[in-house]
Chain A
Amino acid sequence: MMPIVVAADVRKAFGSVQALDGVSIEIPPGQVLCIVGPSGSGKSTLLRCINQLERIDSGAIWVDGELIGYRRVGNKLYELTDAEIARQRLTSGMVFQRFNLFQHMTALENIIEGPVTVQKRRRSEAVDEAMALLQRVGLSEKRDAYPSELSGGQQQRVAIARALAMKPKLMLFDEPTSALDPELVGEVLAVMRDLARSGMTMIVVTHELGFAREVANEIVFMDRGAIVERGSPQEVLVHPKQQRTRDFIAAVLA
Chain B
Amino acid sequence: MSSSTASSPTRMEMPERFDPSIAHLTHVPRRHYGRWIASALILAAFAYVIKAFAEGQIDWTVVGQFFTAQSIISGLGNTIIMTVCAMALGIALGVLFAIMVMSPNPVLKGVAIFYIWFFRGTPLLLQLLIWFNLALVFPRIGIPGLFEARMVDVMTPFVATLLGLGINQGAYTAEVVRSGILSVDAGQTEAAKAIGMTRLTTLRRIILPQAMRVIIPPVGNEVISMVKLTSIASVIGFAEVLRNAQTIYFANARVIELLIVSAGWYLIIVTILSIAQHFLERYFAKGSGRRSRRFARPAVEG
Give A contacts to B, CB under 8 Å: 39-40, 44, 51-53, 82-83, 86-87, 89-90, 93-94, 96-106, 113-114, 117-119, 146-149, 151-153, 155, 159, 162-163, 166, 175, 178-181, 184, 207
Given contacts A86-B198, A118-B197, contact A184 B210 (CB under 8 A): no
B292: contacting residue among A94, A117, A147, A178, CB under 8 A: A147
Query: Taking the complex as formed, is B191 at the interface, i.e. its CB lies under 8 A from any CB of chain A?
Result: yes
Name the distance in Å between B194's Cβ and chain A's nearest Cβ: 4
Give B contacts to A, CB under 8 Å: 185, 187-188, 190-199, 201, 205-206, 209-210, 286-302
Name the distance in Å between B181's Cβ and chain A's nearest Cβ: 14
Name the distance in Å between A150's Cβ and chain B's nearest Cβ: 8
Which chain B residues border A146 with CB–CB below 8 Å?
Answer: 286-289
Number of A-B residue pairs at CB separation under 8 A:
126
Q: Is the CB of A152 within 8 A of B293?
A: yes
Cα(A166)–Cα(B195), bound, Å: 7
Q: Is the CB of B297 within 8 A of A117?
A: no
Interface majority SS (helix, strand, loop, mixed), chain B: loop
Nearest 3 pairs of A and B residues by beta carbon:
A114-B195, A100-B191, A94-B194
Q: What is the chain B residue whose CB lies nearest that of A109?
A: B287
Cα(A83)–Cα(B201), bound, Å: 10
Q: Is the CB of B299 within 8 A of A104?
A: no
Given contacts A118-B201, A146-B289, A178-B301, contact A162 B295 (CB under 8 A): no
Given contacts A86-B196, A178-B301, A180-B296, contact A103 B191 (CB under 8 A): no
Given contacts A44-B301, A152-B293, A178-B300, contact A102 B194 (CB under 8 A): no
Q: Which of B188, B190, B289 has the most CB of A within 10 A?
A: B190
Q: Is the CB of B188 within 8 A of A98?
A: no
A103: contacting residue among B188, B190, B298, B300, CB under 8 A: B188
